[in-house]
Amino acid sequence: MMRNNEKEAPGEKRFKLPDYFKITVMGFAFTAIWSSLQGVILPIRLLEWIDESQKNTYLGMLTFTGLVLAMVVQPFIGVLSDRTVSRWGKRRPYIFIGTILALAFLPGIGWVDSFTAILVMYCLLQVSCNTAQASYQALIPDFLPQNKRGLASGLKSLLELLGGFALVRLTAYLMGHYYEGEEQTWLWLALVSLTFVMLGISVATIVSVKEQPSFKTNRPPQPVLQSLKIDFKVHRHFLWFLVSRGLLGMPGVILQTFILYYLMDVVGLANPAAVAGDLLVVVGVCLVGASFPAGRLSDRFGRQPVLIISSAIGIAGTLILFFTRSYSHLMISGALLGISNGGLLSSSWALATDFVAKGEEAKYLAVTNFAMVVGSALARLVGPAIDYFNGLSPGSGYRFMLGVCLFSFVIGGLLVFKTRPKKAQKPAPTGI
């Protein structure tokens, strides 16, 4: 694999598919952890301590609090990473530290015995994982020129989706037994599976990615808080992109977080946990199938067309979910939503890498994720609204939930027109 400061001979193609894999594979671990925790483990564990009528509120507030920490941690660590002087490079020290802390806190999800305790453990896990993620996600612009980042973003999204698909299905199976009242062994099997995934992939990334040592620059040092600033008067297209990305990310988070309760309270199928698992599989397969081609298409036709078409597909999937109660229609809706989110993930991340400034890659991508986290945090606040409207009229809370999803797809898609990506540049010396 080419080191991130090596020059490339003209016309030489040095970056092979395994090299793309090395700089993107950590997405598999992060999605495996958060999808499994937020989609299956936390909703089931919360039912041990809280009243049934308040489950959406507590789940929403739990995940919202953790995401507020993520909003702070990622930009802060991103700036530190950009400015780090280390013989390991700028990214790997933070990947290492974040991984060690995450592995220490993940078992705590199984040890806790109250809502307060699981809130604390969840927040510590958020800080740890986002320390590693803030640095890892800058590897794409570190190593690749602009005209190759769509391919890398597609592979990144593909691996993220595979992580969610594989581990969520396994976690749903294991927690299905736990939910039936059997021994805590099933919970620990789920947590141990996530621990081994995180450990193995983090070690592989740290060992295989060959960063050059980072050195001091001639730029005068700035306070960290001042370094976090971006002049949005100059970068107004980036601002519109951030708003669009935050909105377009909300429907997937809302449905992933509250779909189990929706199936329990509205659809009324015999085994909602199993149906949720099947639905996640369908969504995952379609996400996997769409993400990599979407990245390649965004390199060829531009980021905006892929984003707009993906938004339209998401609208169709949400409308089907709004009007259906049958198992087959649920799966069709899941397929459309999977295709939509696969396209959105790949093309929006590729567009984000187009906006980064030289030497501030981690900061710009952390701010991009900040927008996504804001959208995710707002999505969690739909939980209290669901319970409130359900108290007024049974099922109306879930209709409100789907209405928010439609609004996010429509407005987020329209705002894509206000984002103007940079023109493709010639491959940089740090690329392939």
Greater pLDDT, 149 or 421? 149
Between 80-94, 117-131, 185-199, 413-427, the lowest mean confidence (pLDDT) is in: 413-427
**What is the pLDDT confidence band of residue 193, given thresholds at 50, 70 and 90?**
very high
* Residue 400 scores a pLDDT above 90: yes
- Name the most confidently modeled range: 112-116, 225-229, 372-376: 112-116
Q: 221 in a domain, yes or no?
A: no
The mean of the pLDDT values for the chain is: 81
Q: 10 in a domain, yes or no?
A: no
**What is the pLDDT confidence band of residue 428, given thresholds at 50, 70 and 90?**
very low
- Name the most confidently modeled range: 24-38, 169-183, 256-270, 274-288: 24-38
* Residue 226 scores a pLDDT above 70: no
Mean pLDDT along residues 187-208: 92
* 100, two tokens: 């060690």
Q: What angle do CA 369, 373, 378 make, to 5 degrees?
A: 150
Q: What is the tens place of the pLDDT at every residue in 266-310? A: 877 767 777 877 887 788 788 878 888 888 888 888 888 899 999
**What is the pLDDT confidence band of residue 349, given thresholds at 50, 70 and 90?**
confident
Between 50-54, 114-118, 305-309, the lowest mean confidence (pLDDT) is in: 50-54
**What is the pLDDT confidence band of residue 368, given thresholds at 50, 70 and 90?**
confident
* Residue 222 scores a pLDDT above 50: yes
Asked if residue 338 lies in contact with residue 284, where contact means CB atoms within 8 angstroms, the answer is yes
Q: 423 in a domain, yes or no?
A: no
**What is the pLDDT confidence band of residue 12, given thresholds at 50, 70 and 90?**
very low
Which residues does 305 contact at the CB level (< 8 Å), separation at least 6? none
Q: 323 in a domain, yes or no?
A: yes
Q: Is 100 exposed, middle or buried (0-12, 13-18, 19+ CB in 10 A)?
A: middle
Q: How far is CA 428 from CA 12, 267, 425, in A?
A: 13, 53, 8
**What is the pLDDT confidence band of residue 263, given thresholds at 50, 70 and 90?**
confident
Mean pLDDT along residues 348-352: 84
**What is the pLDDT confidence band of residue 65, given thresholds at 50, 70 and 90?**
confident
Q: Is 302 exposed, middle or buried (0-12, 13-18, 19+ CB in 10 A)?
A: middle
* Residue 9 scores a pLDDT above 70: no
Rounded distance between C-alpha atoms, residue 157 and residue 417, angstroms: 23
CB atoms within 10 A of CB 321: 25
Q: 236 in a domain, yes or no?
A: yes
**What is the pLDDT confidence band of residue 316, given thresholds at 50, 70 and 90?**
very high
**What is the pLDDT confidence band of residue 14, given thresholds at 50, 70 and 90?**
low
Q: How many domains does the chain have?
A: 1
DSSP summary character for residue 146: G
Which residues does 85 contact at the CB level (< 8 Å), separation at least 6? 214, 215, 216
Mean pLDDT along residues 33-45: 87
pTM for this entry: 0.68
Q: 8 in a domain, yes or no?
A: no
Q: 6 in a domain, yes or no?
A: no
204 is in which domain, residue-wise?
17-213+232-418
* Residue 371 scores a pLDDT above 90: no
- Residue 392: give its domain's CATH number: 1.20.1250.20
* Residue 195 scores a pLDDT above 90: yes
Q: 220 in a domain, yes or no?
A: no
Asked if residue 418 lies in contact with residue 135, where contact means CB atoms within 8 angstroms, the answer is no
Instruction: Look at residue 218 in the predicted model and tell me its pLDDT.
Output: 52
Rounded distance between C-alpha atoms, residue 354 and residue 364, angstroms: 10
